[in-house]
């Protein structure tokens, strides 16, 4: 009899844990809450583009406005439902919009894939839970000898600051989540004798019912060649939402 009671107690305990886990999973928000997609939706950003000029001697930041507009529902090369996003750019708020690129977003239900310049990023993945991590660059060739994206290898994306308000430019957004992608530094060009250094930083923020409201990406590599020639290669992109529908 004692054995039967013990087994019943253990079964109840396992059932309670299972119910708790199921309840927690049901309470996580779907990706579509933070990455809504429908034809006609747009988000406008201030864009700060970081470039190195004069053979890597000078750092410059060029500012524009860009608009990401969902203009068609399509299928990807695997036959899955997807959305085409056209990017428009202009030099100032009074200049005309000019289309200059197209992207593709693929909502799979459990993830959000984003294709830009033939690079497929796994931008979001279920469950949306503080501290949850995934390999966001898993579809990008970062290992072959000719790859220009080796610095993107093995990034661990993670959720942080769930459902918190955020100040984005002049806007205050009620409910946002942060996706941390990379924050890595090797060496310091300001230290005498440094021959090589690099920095990679990447972070995005998403707002409930809106989509991506902020992006900050920066990657550079520094070399000090024998003879005293110092130079940088790399680029940066910062997007800050200013409008949406």
* pLDDT tens per residue across span 67-106: 999 999 999 999 999 999 999 999 999 999 999 999 999 9
Q: Model confidence over 13-55: pLDDT tens digits?
A: 554 555 454 444 446 899 999 999 999 999 999 999 999 999 8
| Angstrom distance (rounded) from CA 82 to CA 106 | 4
Q: How confident is the model at residue 63 (pLDDT cuts 50, 70, 90)?
A: very high
Does residue 220 carry a pLDDT above 70? yes
Q: What is this structure's pTM?
A: 0.87
| Angstrom distance (rounded) from CA 100 to CA 49 | 15
Does residue 5 carry a pLDDT above 70? no
| Angstrom distance (rounded) from CA 94 to CA 48 | 17
Closest CA to 133 of 144, 124, 141, 146: 124
pLDDT given at position 23:
41
Average pLDDT over residues 122-149: 95
pLDDT given at position 51:
96
Q: How confident is the model at residue 57 (pLDDT cuts 50, 70, 90)?
A: confident
Q: Are 235 and 207 in contact (CB under 8 A)?
A: no
- Please report, for the chain, the start and end positions of each structural domain, with discontinuous segments joined by +: 35-244
Q: How confident is the model at residue 7 (pLDDT cuts 50, 70, 90)?
A: very low
CA-based diameter of the chain, in Å? 86
Q: Model confidence over 171-189: pLDDT tens digits?
A: 999 999 999 999 999 999 9
Q: Model confidence over 186-205: pLDDT tens digits?
A: 999 989 889 999 999 999 99
HSE at residue 236, side-chain half, CA atoms within 13 A, is: 22
The mean pLDDT value of the chain amounts to 90
Q: Over the chain, what HEC string results?
A: CHHHHHHHHHHHHHHHHHHHHHHHHHHCCCHHHHCCCCCCCEEEEEEEEEEEECCCCEEEEEEEEEEEEEEEEEECCCCCEEEEEEEEEECCCCCCCEEEEEEEEEECCCEEEEEECCEEEEEEECCCCCCCEEECCCCCCCCCCCCCCHHHCCCEEEEEEEEEEEEECCEEEEEEEEEEEEEEEECCCCCCCCCEEEEEEEEEEEECCCEEEEEEEEEEEEEEECCCEEEEEEEEEEEEEEEEC
Q: With the C-alpha atoms ordered 125, 44, 97, 49, is the resulting torsion angle positive or negative? A: negative
Phi-psi region of 187 (alpha: psi -120 to 50; beta: other; left: phi over 0): left
- Calculate what percentage of the chain has a pLDDT beyond 70: 88
Average pLDDT over residues 107-119: 96
Candidate from 20-34, 107-121, 170-184, 219-233 with smallest mean pLDDT: 20-34
pLDDT given at position 28:
83
pLDDT given at position 6:
47
Does residue 2 carry a pLDDT above 80? no
| Angstrom distance (rounded) from CA 126 to CA 2 | 43
Does residue 206 carry a pLDDT above 70? yes
Preceding peptide of 127 cis, ω within 30°? yes
């Amino acid at each position: 009899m004692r054995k039967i009671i013990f087994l019943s107690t253990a079964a109840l305990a396992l059932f309670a844990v299972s119910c708790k886990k199921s309840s927690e999973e049901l309470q996580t928000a779907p990706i579509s809450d933070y990455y809504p997609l429908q034809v006609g939706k747009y988000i406008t950003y201030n864009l700060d583009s970081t470039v190195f000029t004069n053979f890597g001697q000078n750092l410059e930041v060029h500012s524009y406005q860009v608009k990401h507009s969902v203009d068609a529902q399509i299928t990807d090369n695997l036959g899955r439902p997807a959305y085409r996003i056209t990017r428009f750019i202009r030099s100032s708020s009074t200049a005309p919009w000019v289309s200059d690129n197209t992207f593709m977003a693929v909502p799979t239900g459990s993830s959000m894939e984003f294709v830009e310049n033939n690079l497929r990023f796994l931008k979001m993945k279920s469950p949306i839970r503080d501290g949850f991590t995934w390999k966001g660059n898993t579809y990008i060739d970062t290992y072959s000898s000719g790859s220009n994206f080796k610095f993107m290898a093995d990034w661990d994306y993670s959720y942080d600051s769930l459902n918190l308000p955020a100040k984005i430019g002049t806007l205050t957004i009620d409910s946002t989540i942060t996706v941390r992608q990379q924050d890595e530094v090797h060496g310091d060009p300001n230290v005498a004798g440094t021959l090589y250094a690099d920095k990679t930083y990447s972070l995005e923020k998403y707002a409930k019912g809106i989509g991506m409201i902020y992006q900050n990406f920066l990657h550079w590599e520094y070399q000090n060649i024998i003879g005293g020639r110092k130079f940088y290669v790399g680029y940066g992109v910062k997007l800050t939402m200013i409008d949406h529908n």
